[in-house]
Amino acid sequence: MLKIAIIIGSTRPGRRGEAVAQWVHEIAQKRSDAIFEIVDIADFNLPLYDEPNPPMFAKYTKPHTLAWSEAINSYDGFVFVTPEYNHAISGALKNAIDFLFNEWKNKAAGIVSYGGGTGGARAAENLRLILGELHVADVRAQVTLSLFTDFENFSILKPAPRQEANANTLFDEVIAWSGALKPLR
């Protein structure tokens, strides 16, 4: 069975990412075609990249990098839950992604973004550029949650009913691509 990580892409106190990831996970739990687990980058306490070697060599020297590598390597695909900060992903998510290289390679990813008027769509586009460099196949389907329409008072997640269907389309694509890429890994 394929294992898919739902990665919370923010470490900010008061972040909305935990609620969004829980919502994504609740929808995913209704499925029987993959195992979905939440991975919170905040749990790994990653400093700014501090390894002496480039990640493509996988010669890690720090316990936090080894733990992060082991966690990410154990998954066949990913669903990134990302806020939009200044038309991009959070610095914490970029840093976490940059710690590794081979662990991401030849896997699939979907994106659930959240933010202002565009629902984090610009962060999703930014993330797609990064994932492409890492040989991650990002799927076309995505979920964009607007702070104006999918959150009550900009803080309590209350997604529009269509968003669950969007999430399931995203899962369908991530699972299909994760399975298709498995022989390359």
pLDDT for residue 106: 98
pTM given for the model: 0.97
Contact 20, 112 (CB under 8 A): yes
pLDDT for residue 117: 82
Segments of the chain scoring below 70 in pLDDT: none
pLDDT for residue 131: 98
CA distance 78 to 100: 14
CA distance 176 to 185: 15
Encode pLDDT of 106-123 as tens digits. Answer: 999 999 999 998 999 999
Token pair belonging to 77 = 């695909």
Element (H, E) at 151: strand 151-152
- All domains of the chain in start order, with CATH: 3-184 (3.40.50.360)
CA distance 161 to 66: 40
Contact 89, 126 (CB under 8 A): yes
Please give the C-alpha separations between residue 153 and each of 149, 162, 173, in angstroms, as whole numbers. 9, 20, 32
